[in-house]
Amino acid sequence: MSKKIAIIYTSFHHMNTERLILSLDAVDIFNTSKLNNLNFSKYDYIGFASGIYYGEMSKNILNIARKIVLKDSAKVFIIYTCGIALKNYSKSMEHILHTRHLNYIGKFSCRGYDNYGPFKIFGGISKKHPNQNDINNFKSFIHKIQNL
């Protein structure tokens, strides 16, 4: 029996996270702007994906993680894209997952084009990201978690 994977994502501005997520096959993908049901109990793996906004994942994806209905054995993971990797930007999401006693199995992050605030002066940072190497690493991450 194959394992069912869903990724719930939000992506704004340059659509870095969306580009990464849409590179996958055989995964059910849900954009938070079109999500009308929070019952994901048929999935074995659930990913929460977002760009980084003001130093953390989007408020929308954090709220979904607080309310989503999952089966007890579901494994959850985090995906995020950011202009510059200064710290672990998934701490708020990790806190939610641990507070809910969910089976958190890891995270994937990569750079994404960012021209917010002072970066705009220089034409942005992390141009051309996520690139093909980022996408290949992401696909490897998904393949590894499927075998947990």
> Which one, of 29, 79, 85, lies nearest residue 58 by Cα?
79
Domain-by-domain residue ranges, the chain?
A: 5-146
Decide yes or no: CATH 3.40.50.360 for domain 5-146. Answer: yes
pLDDT in tens, 65-109: 999 999 999 999 999 987 677 678 899 999 999 999 999 999 999
As a whole number of angstroms, the distance between CA 107 and CA 90 comes to 8
Neighbours of 14 (CB within 10 A): 20
pTM: 0.89
Cis peptide before 118 (omega within 30 of 0): no
Winning range, highest mean pLDDT, from 5-14, 101-110, 120-129, 139-148:
101-110
Residues 6+ apart with CB under 8 A from 62: 56, 92, 93, 96
